[in-house]
Chains A and B, each alone.
Chain A
Amino acid sequence: MRYPALLPALVLLPLLLSAMVALVPRGPRRLAGAAASSITGVLGSAVVLALMIDGGSWEFALAGWEAPLGITLQADGTSTAFLALMTVVGVAVTVYAAAEPRLAGGPDFWPLWLVLWAGLNGVVVAGDLFNIYVMLELVTLAAVALVALGGRSAAAPALRYLFVGVVGSLLFLLAVALVYAETGTLDLLQVTAALEPGPVLTAIVALTLLGMGAKMALFPLHAWLPVAHPAAPAAVSAVLSALVIKAGVIVLWRIWFGLADDATAVRALGVVAGIAGAVAVFWGGAMALRSSRLKQIIAYSTVAQVGYFAIVLTLADGSAAGWSGGVVLVLAHGLAKAAMFLAAGTLAVAYGTDRLSHLHGAITHTPMTVAALGIAGISLAGLPPTFGFVAKWQLLMAAIEQGAWWWIGVLLLGGLLTFGYTAAMVRATFNRPGDDEVPAPHRVRSVLAVVPFTLAIASVVFGVFSAGLVDLVAEDPTVRGHG
């Protein structure tokens, strides 16, 4: 069998499993769901391995029709990196959710989670603009429903998330319609070749920036995130911050680096996105420092990190270091953020709340969970030898290459803020002076501490061995170097 024929299975297998898991009665559904998710994880790892061994870019036309008649799936180095992230975090969340149903939102979690996973895999390998739109719809709908599993208090945040997500989708759909009207094709590669510079192209790029900006919570379109992400069950929060945000990111990057040209209007859009990103880094960091609950801090931290993904639009413009730095940052953020949200969920179960003021003594009772928080925070802040450091280093290189010193300031100050709120979270778990009796938490299963800790460790190990990944990504044709 030709390897590229594996690509449709990345989407179709989890969808089939989702439908079957939904038929399992609610009692034993956790087992079925965990088994189905594991199969999805195995498939994901197999495809990632095959892509790495094959070393090339895959293309597969569905239904036997080549573009423009049919739909094409595509995978390159960037897809490989994103798929690897989906697989690692997906498996970790599966183990975590199977261990503690309360942290996943009950039996309804499993079919929706499998749909979400299918959509995430699909966004990464889609090569057709309308197909990307449908994949985004799958992701958004499943993600909103998963937020709503957080109980009554999650209903309003979920509804708000739905509105923002759908508006983002519609803006993107408008961009897709303009592309089709102008070029007569929906295939991303053909569109890249056919689209002439002009006001229509500018409108397409602007609509995509606006739509995906809403979906990835780019300042000032971020207000839904610090409400929706903490309201969801912990396993869902981890998926939302680590993976769902990234669906918006990869679509924005693919359109931007595929289509954007040197026109003044497009350059201005890049500057606007960069400024929004820089403000997001500071605003998110400052709000995280001011927050008093773990999940809220971590959610604001996501708002800050999304700022970097917007800055990449400028830093990766014709710069291989900027591009690979951006992709590595996506992976580093995914691992670290999943570790943080899962650790926060474990602490919330142990202490009955995620308020910082109630967590003192946690470092004695659940040292592994607190260590996960700390290590993940260090990776996010970009300190060596973590994954986050590799990403920030590449981005710094790109900034120096371009002589854009102000980005160096943003990167370093953002790291400092990250370090600040990480320290605040860890400090809250210290024993208080004079605490003879450290408050004892509820017992939690050890796997709930092991999973976030493993993810946090992964963000260090990958940092040490990341040279190969950086090369893989840097060779992508996506970096067209139009600058």
Chain B
Amino acid sequence: MSLDIGVFDALLLTGVLLAAVAAVLVPRRTASVAVFLVFGLLLALLWARLDAPDIALAEAVLGGGVTGALLVDALASKQPHAPPRRLWTVVVGIVAGTIAFLAAACVVSRLSGPTGELPRLVDDQIATTGAEHPVTAVLLNFRSFDTLLEIAVVMAAVFAATAVSDRSWARELSASGELRTIAMALLPVVALLAVWMLIAGTTRPGGAFQAGAMVGAGLVIAHLTGTRHASTRGRWGEALIVVGLVAFILLAFSTAVAGEGWLVLGESWASAAILGIEAVLAVSIGVGLARIFLANRNEPGEAR
């Protein structure tokens, strides 16, 4: 493997590593969260440098946005200091980390370079998949089964977060006029971004997960600024959380029973099916992420 790293990449790599170590080692929780957010940002940049804009986008909205919101919210109610770390755990961590890094570098340097014909196969077949962007073709046609299961993972996570909550989060928060004004300005932008990411996903980076994260962010903002019907509680919330998986599985069953086999998309209707499924998935992912955030807030009924 050739190592073709410029100064910027080297700085970026060092920054990611330093931020990761600092996020674990700094004693104050607020500082820890702040460093973690920086880490997410640097990681997104790194993905972009590796020519993986889809992952960069996902990292930015999920790793930085959603996780960041969860962490900051958890900060507000807990004591500011993490329990003190013993010196030996730090030493063991650093030694183990160094050994793992060196071992990984050793193994990676022995890799026999890019092999296999998969990229060429994808290029050959992409015209029949109903998607123009290779990542979308892989996620929603070639390996759609994996994506379906990922949606099931998100659903299971929402079930889990709801199960451990006390189910008493507020249906509606009271908020000041200024907050409402902010919401009025922000929400249309967020909605527009979500739709754009969804539709862009067929031809360029974007797609259901990124759009879903925007939907989730929009719902959280709406709830925190006192908008009605944004609490993701109740039967409608549940229904919107599961509708993505249900639609995807029903598509799978109907292709198996009436079509050419499990998840086989016909060339003529594949692009419509992909866009439709992505739209439903984005809704489910968004409502699900908002539910994970809202279900475990510690101060119900109080807007900050």
Interface residues of A (CB under 8 A from B): 5, 8-9, 11-12, 15-16, 18-20, 22-23, 60, 62-65, 68-71, 108, 111-112, 115, 118, 122, 130-131, 134-135, 137-138, 141-142, 144-145, 148-149, 155, 174, 178, 181-185, 196, 198-200, 203
Contact = CB atoms under 8 A, between A and B. Distances in A.
Interface of B: 103-104, 106-108, 110-112, 114-118, 121-122, 125, 141-146, 148-150, 152-153, 155-157, 159-160, 162-164, 235, 238-239, 241-242, 245-246, 249-250, 252-253, 256, 260-265
Contacts of B108: 181
A9 to B, nearest CB: 8
A178 B111 contact: yes
A134 B153 contact: yes
A194 to B, nearest CB: 8
A63 B256 contact: no
Ranked 5 nearest A-B pairs via Cβ:
A184-B116, A145-B160, A64-B264, A19-B242, A108-B163
A22 B239 CA distance: 9
Given A63-B145, A131-B146, A23 B242 contact: yes
Given A142-B156, A145-B163, A178-B111, 13 more contacts: A15-B249, A16-B245, A23-B238, A62-B262, A62-B263, A63-B143, A63-B264, A112-B163, A131-B145, A148-B160, A155-B164, A200-B110, A200-B112
A145 B118 contact: no
Contact of B107 (A111, A137, A178): A178
A244 to B, nearest CB: 14
Given A22-B242, A63-B141, A148-B164, A184 B152 contact: no
B152 A183 contact: no
Contacts, number: 150
15 contacts: A8-B145, A8-B256, A16-B249, A18-B155, A22-B241, A62-B263, A63-B142, A71-B145, A108-B159, A108-B162, A142-B160, A145-B159, A182-B112, A184-B117, A199-B107
A266 to B, nearest CB: 14
B264 A200 contact: no
A112 B146 contact: no
B145 A69 contact: no
Given A112-B163, A130-B146, A141 B117 contact: no
B156 A16 contact: no
B297 to A, nearest CB: 17
B264 A69 contact: no
B143 A70 contact: yes
Contact of B160 (A122, A144, A200): A144
A134 B146 contact: yes
Contact of B156 (A64, A141, A183): A141
A64 B259 CA distance: 11
A69 B107 CA distance: 26
Contacts of A148: 160, 163-164
Most buried by A among B111, B162, B238, B262: B262
Contacts of A12: 148, 249, 252-253
Contact of A183 (B116, B142, B242, B250): B116
A130 B148 CA distance: 13
A65 B270 CA distance: 14
Contacts of A23: 235, 238-239, 242
A115 B238 CA distance: 16
A438 B226 CA distance: 61
B121 A15 contact: no
Contacts of A115: 152, 155-156, 159
A184 B112 CA distance: 11
Contacts of B104: 174
